[in-house]
Amino acid sequence: MTKFILHGGYTREPNELNRTFFTELAKDVPNNGTILLVYFASTDDNIDTRFEEHRKMILENITPNTVTVLLANEKDFIHQVNIADAIFLNGGNTDKLLKTLENYPDFKNEIEGKTIAGSSAGAYTLARYGASHSLKEMRRGLGIVPIRLICHFESETLPPSKTSVEMLIGTSPELELVTLKDYEWRTFHKN
C-alpha cells in the first residue's frame, strides 16, 4: 500500500502540526531505512539550509532515529527513489517541480508501496488538480492522488488566487475537494 501525506505549506515552522507531519512521514520507515528529501520545486539557493532544517526535524521526531536522510539530485533521482522508504516533495514552484518530474516517466511506478509526502507545490504535484497562487488558473498535477486540492487555504501570507479556486470548484465535482490551511496535513492511501 502506498501512503500519501499532503501538507498545506510551511513545513519548516516549529509547531505541533509540523512535528506530527514529520512523525507520520517517518512512521513506516524501517530501522536503517532511508528518507529522500526532494527540493526540485525550490526557487532559491538555500536548499542545503532547508535540507538540514528538515533533516533535523525528522530525526528529532522519530525513535530510534537510525534512518538515513538523503538530499535528492536530478542525476541519481530514480536510483534514490528506488532505495528510499519515504519521499518528501518540498514546496516552492509547482510548475518547476512538474517540469523536472517529466524527466522521470517511471516516477509514478517507482513510488508504489512507499510513503510519499508533499507540501504545497509538492502536494499540488501529487493531486489531480490544484489551485494556483500566482496564476489565475488551476493546475493539473500528476493525478496520483485523485483529488482537487487547495493548499495555504485562508492563508494571510500566500492565499490561492480566487479565480483558480473558482475553476477548481467547478471542475470534476466527483473528486473530493480538499482544503489544507498552512501547517495542516492529511493522509491518503492507495492499494
What is the DSSP secondary-structure string of 95-143? HHHHHHHTT-TTHHHHTTTSEEEEETHHHHHHEEEE--SSSSS-EE---
Give me the number of domains the chain comprises.
1
DSSP 8-state assignment for residue 4 = E
Model confidence at 45: pLDDT above 90: no
Rounded-to-integer distance, Cα 61 and Cα 57, Å: 6
Rounded-to-integer distance, Cα 48 and Cα 56, Å: 12
Cell 492529511, residue? 186
Mean pLDDT of 60-73: 87
Structure confidence at residue 65 as a pLDDT band (50, 70, 90) = low
Mean pLDDT of 73-92: 98
Give the pLDDT confidence score for residue 61 in this predicted structure.
80
Model confidence at 64: pLDDT above 80: no
Give the pLDDT confidence score for residue 128 in this predicted structure.
98
Give the pLDDT confidence score for residue 43 in this predicted structure.
84
Rounded-to-integer distance, Cα 136 and Cα 50, Å: 29
Q: What percent of the chain has pLDDT over 70?
A: 99
Mean pLDDT of 126-136: 93
Nearest Cα to Cα of residue 24 among 186, 190, 189: 186
> The domain that contains 169 carries what CATH number?
3.40.50.880
Mean pLDDT of 111-137: 96
| pLDDT tens digits along 133-152 | 988 889 999 999 999 999 99
Q: Residue 187 is which amino acid?
A: T
Rounded-to-integer distance, Cα 25 and Cα 9, Å: 15
Structure confidence at residue 58 as a pLDDT band (50, 70, 90) = very high
The mean predicted confidence, pLDDT, of the chain is 95
Domain region containing 122:
2-190
User: To 5 degrees, how large is the angle CA 152–CA 9–CA 136?
Assistant: 40
Rounded-to-integer distance, Cα 173 and Cα 169, Å: 7
Contact 94, 124 (CB under 8 A): yes
Nearest Cα to Cα of residue 117 among 97, 87, 92: 87
What's this model's pTM, rounded to 2 decimal places? 0.96
